[in-house]
Structure formats: C-alpha cells, structure tokens
Amino acid sequence: MRGFVVQYTPTPLPASAPSHGGIAFLDRDGVLNIGSSEYINQPSEFISLPNAAQSVGRLRRAGYRICVVTNQSPIMRGLWDEHRLHTIHNHMRSVFLKSDEDAHFDMILACPHRHRDRCMCRKPMPGMLRFGEKVLRGEVEYPEGESIAEVLPTERDVDWWGEKPIPTHSFDCMVGDRGSDMGAGWAQGLRLFQVDDSKGIFPVIERILESNNTGDVFHPVR
C-alpha cells in the first residue's frame, strides 16, 4: 500500500460555534483512547479515555474541525487490513457520538507504514496533516467516505534543523502523547499539546481553547 487510509465525513459545526476556521489535529491512541503495545486490533478493544468525547464535542462547539492523524503499522505488518481499521474507527465514532452529540470527526487519517518504509505520511512526517488541512479548508476537492490517498510530492520537504514554520492558521493545534506527534505538528507550525497517555486530551482542553495559548515548547532536534 503506497498511500494512507482516509475516512472523510465532513459535518457542519454546531449552529452556535464561531467560524474562526481552526483545525484540531488529534492523535488517536493515548489521546482519545487507551493505547496498547499490541495495538487496537478490533472494535471490542477500543476503550475511550475519560471525558475524551466531551473534549472533542467542546472543540467542535468552539469552532474547530477535527482531524484524527494516527500511525497504524499493523496494516503493513500484515496483521489486518484497512477494512478492519475502518471498522474500528466506525466503532470509535459511535462511542463518541453516544457520549456527546457534537463529538464528530470530520476526517480520520491513518498511515499504514512501518518506520523502515520511509514514507512521508508516518508521523513525525507531516504528510497527513498537510493533506487534512488542504481538504478541510477546501484547497483540494476530495470525495467523502473511505479511500486511500497519497502524499503529494510538494509536501515532502521539512527543515528539521530550522525554525518552527509559521502556521497557516493561528488556532490550529496538534494534540498527541509522543514526540512523533509533536514533530508532525511542529513541521506545520501548529500549537502543540503533549498529553499523558493515561489521561488523554481532557486535562489540556482548557489550554487548547485559549486562543492566546501558544502550546508546549518543542524542537525535534534540540
């Protein structure tokens, strides 16, 4: 598989939400659900972290589009395929919406590759984030539903030794539990919020919603 796995299901923001245009990029395991060293292999293994759904709902009510970006190498390891991943993510959607009617994911992107595949979508590379931004901001037309997409050649350059890039939008943020998540967000110039993988997004939600909060300090090579 050359590309990454896409679920694109855009939904209008709640009627009361401001229209600032921000995007919240969220890692999955350790941010939204309890992760496992053996991977989340089927829907029954998905256990959401406390108040994760309510946090996603609050982001949407605050005007954020939600884009999940997750590394899922079990696909290339041959443990299961993208159809199993879609089943897991459909279950995740159902669990979150049952807890909060606004906890909708506009897009879920998953890199299926291993580190040795040297792709441009596996975090800390920012390929999935750049793709998600272009689609959610209407710069690229993309069909709704489930599909496989590829990182564009123009998205391959990252100066890891340089200064943090200027973001496209000052509200945009990356929430993750690992350095690879922070690296992908840093490459896009996003506000960065690193979380405890046992607690997930909830403890940092107030900071994210503060538009003047610049997030955590991070540099990939320092």
Task: Look at residues 96, 122, 92 and name the one whose alpha carbon lies nearest to residue 110.
Answer: 122
User: Any alpha helices (H) in the chain, and if so which ranges?
Assistant: 52-61, 82-99, 127-136, 179-187, 205-209
Whether 154 is covered by a domain: the verdict is yes
Contact 9, 107 (CB under 8 A): yes
Please give the pLDDT value at position 153.
52
Please give the pLDDT value at position 101.
98
Whether 215 is covered by a domain: the verdict is no
Give the Å distances, CA to CA, from 181 to 16, 99, 123, 171, 178.
30, 26, 6, 17, 5
DSSP helix/strand/coil, 2: coil
Residue 68: domain span: 4-209
Task: Look at residues 159, 131, 164, 125 and name the one whose alpha carbon lies nearest to residue 8.
Answer: 131
Q: Inter-axis angle of helices 82-99 and 52-61, to 10 degrees? A: 80
Please give the pLDDT value at position 29.
98
Q: What is the CATH number of the domain that holds 77?
A: 3.40.50.1000
Per the residue annotation, which of 29, 100, 102, 181 is the catalytic one?
Answer: 29
Q: Is the pTM of this model over 0.85?
A: yes
**pLDDT tens digits along 24-59:** 999 999 999 999 999 999 999 999 999 999 999 999
Neighbour tally for 166: CB within 10 Å: 8
Is it the case that residue 156 has pLDDT exceeding 90?
A: no
Count of domains for the chain: 1
Is 27 catalytic? The answer is yes
Is it the case that residue 166 has pLDDT exceeding 70?
A: yes
Whether 73 is covered by a domain: the verdict is yes
Whether 18 is covered by a domain: the verdict is yes
Per the residue annotation, which of 27, 106, 172, 177 is the catalytic one?
Answer: 27
**pLDDT tens digits along 117-134:** 888 899 999 999 999 999
Percent helix / strand / coil, the chain, rounded to 5: 30, 15, 55
* Greatest pairwise CA separation for the chain in angstroms: 46
Please give the pLDDT value at position 150.
82
Give the DSSP H or E segment for 176.
strand 173-176
Whether 216 is covered by a domain: the verdict is no
> What whole-number distance in Å separates Cα of residue 179 and Cα of residue 187?
12
Residue 159 burial (10 A CB sphere; 0-12, 13-18, 19+): exposed
Contact 68, 105 (CB under 8 A): yes
Whether 44 is covered by a domain: the verdict is yes
